[in-house]
Structure 1
Amino acid sequence: MNLIDATGLRVSLGGQPVLSDVDFSIAPGEIVTIVGPNGSGKSTLLRTLIGAVRPESGKVRHRPGLRLGYVPQKLAMDPTLPLTVMRFLSLPHRVPAAERAAALEEAGAGTLGDRPMTGLSGGQFQRVLLARALLNKPDVLLLDEPTQGLDQPGSAAFYRQIEHIRSHLGCAVVMVSHELHVVMSASDRVVCLNGHVCCQGHPEVVAQAAEYRALFGSGTHGALALYRHEHSHSHDADCGHTHHEGHHDHGAAPAPRTAEAG
């Protein structure tokens, strides 16, 4: 059973259509990345999946008892607020110190507990937000462009941490990203969005699809070789479908990978 099933989603913001007849699903343990140009509806889809945006039509179904962890694209904080990382993780509801420390460790930020939030680098701040999302022990971790503003090595390290979390905690992951060359390697399936689902499937198959290349150009595929995982199983692509078509069957989730991206 899928953790999340969304069918026929139509969303408008400010009277402007943003999503049209979008189908989306994620299976247990799967890492799915949503890519698309600016204004393509990626963040809106993520917020619709978690229930923050109500669709005009269509449905989002969660598996009963589903726990979600959400990492927003950005979080503005008052720079004069004297708030340590550990204190931040205990707002708005108190969380036992051991649980906060464990979440920081899982997010690769175990040494940051006593640091002031306003003194963190961009990468450290994102890892603390990740730790906050992990406090809920999520079945699905949803991240909205979590490495925006980080350099390429920082981004690659963050995505490797996400793969570690998926492997260690067994949670599924939905990511929105604009960093095609890095994020492709960290995904089991890529959904290419431009108001509707243009193309989806295994990263290397999607990178060859005409719909993907029309949006991003053909040069992006070369970078995949630098980060590519080796897979022993086959993949199916679901490319060339427009938003007028019905629900897509993604099949079983790929087996978790054990290789690390270089």
Structure 2
Amino acid sequence: MRAEITRPAPLIEARDLTVRLRGADQPILKDVSFNVLPGEIVTVVGPNGSGKSTLVRAVLGHVAAESGEVIRRKGLRIGYVPQRVHVDDRIPMSVRRFLSLPERVSDAEAGAALARTGVDGLQDRQITRLSGGQFQRVLLARALLHRPELLVLDEPTQGLDQPGIVAFYRLIEEIRRATGAAVLMVSHDLLVVMRASDHVICLNGHVCCHGTPQAVSEAPEYQALFGADSAQTLALYRHHHDHDHDGRGHHRHHGDAHHHA
């Protein structure tokens, strides 16, 4: 008799989530359902205007749902790296001070977070003097300060060059391995992010398809949005992730992509 595989409870789950922005005739998200399990990397891809950032904001509770719901595990610790952070360059702000906003942390905690993201030693540097890659790593360090069980990243590599993008996603994978934190991220870096993901959600106002990176890249809905050439290129970067993992950062078997009309 085959033993049942017990799936861990989701950290966060969206059920039939519909969001309409103020004044809009049509909802920007309609009947979106997905979940994030402990330790997995889930990536949301889609064209501009498909509702990716709105989905993140709804998951975090920053925008209200018109219908449906978002269920978070009780006491869930979330670390968030937003798409844009404006720092007024007229106000002196060191990295160390930035890490203590809005909640003060010790020097040891700040130093450990910076070391984990590869920018140790920048404590006294002015925020406005950082490169794009350094600033993203400082933002990630701040998100890690309170030992999140779920990291939420909204387009975290905007403004980075290709080597910087590759290095950042490699860092995300290392953090997942080291801390066991799950990751929910929005990205337009299709090639790189497919390699770094366990599960991909293709969004265009609704969930077009979802599944393993390989299965999604072969789905007609994905190819209609991004082109067959994109899928063929992705095959060169295939991320072998089609087996059972345990609950410490590892994913269940998916099989084929799941399609939604």
| Structure 2 CA distance for aligned equivalents of residues 229 and 164 of structure 1 | 16
| Structure 1 CA distance for aligned equivalents of residues 30 and 212 of structure 2 | 23
Offset, 1:226:
4.8
Alignment of 1:204-219 (within 5 A): 204-219=214-229
RMSD (Å), alpha carbons: 1.3
Which among 66, 91, 106 is matched to residue 76 of structure 2? 66
| Residue 258 (structure 2) aligns with | 239
Which among 175, 186, 189 is matched to residue 185 of structure 2? 175
| Residue 54 (structure 1) aligns with | 64
Distance 1:232 1:53, change over 3 A: closer
Which among 145, 166, 179 is matched to residue 155 of structure 2? 145
| Structure 2 CA distance for aligned equivalents of residues 15 and 74 of structure 1 | 24
Alignment of 1:42-121 (within 5 A): 42-121=52-131
- Does the Cα contact within 8 Å between 2:77 and 2:147 map onto a contact in 1? yes
Deviations 1:54-92 (A, max 9, x none): 101111111111000000001011112211111110112
| Structure 1 CA distance for aligned equivalents of residues 176 and 240 of structure 2 | 18
Partner amino acid, structure 1, of 2:89:
P
| Residue 43 (structure 2) aligns with | 33
Alignment of 1:188-207 (within 5 A): 188-207=198-217
| Structure 2 CA distance for aligned equivalents of residues 73 and 166 of structure 1 | 20
Partner amino acid, structure 2, of 1:224:
L
| Residue 122 (structure 1) aligns with | 132
| Residue 15 (structure 1) aligns with | 23
Partner amino acid, structure 2, of 1:235:
H
| Structure 1 CA distance for aligned equivalents of residues 257 and 239 of structure 2 | 20
| Structure 1 CA distance for aligned equivalents of residues 114 and 48 of structure 2 | 31
| Residue 160 (structure 1) aligns with | 170
Offset, 1:136:
1.7
| Structure 2 CA distance for aligned equivalents of residues 178 and 237 of structure 1 | 22
Offset, 1:23:
0.3
Which among 219, 238, 261 is matched to residue 228 of structure 1? 238
| Structure 2 CA distance for aligned equivalents of residues 54 and 222 of structure 1 | 38
Aligned positions, number: 242
Offset, 1:238:
3.5
SS of 2:42's partner is strand
- Does the Cα contact within 8 Å between 1:211 and 1:239 map onto a contact in 2? no
Deviations 1:230-262 (A, max 9, x none): 3462532343212xxxxxxxxxxxxxxxxxxxx
SS of 1:174's partner is strand
- Does the Cα contact within 8 Å between 1:145 and 1:178 map onto a contact in 2? yes
Offset, 1:164:
0.3
Normalising by structure 2, we get a TM-score of: 0.89
Partner amino acid, structure 1, of 2:10:
N
Identity %: 61
| Structure 1 CA distance for aligned equivalents of residues 241 and 257 of structure 2 | 19
SS of 2:215's partner is helix
Deviations 1:2-43 (A, max 9, x none): 000110111011332100000020000000000000010000
Partner amino acid, structure 1, of 2:260:
H
SS of 2:228's partner is coil
Structure 2 stretches of 5 or more lacking a match? 1-8, 244-252
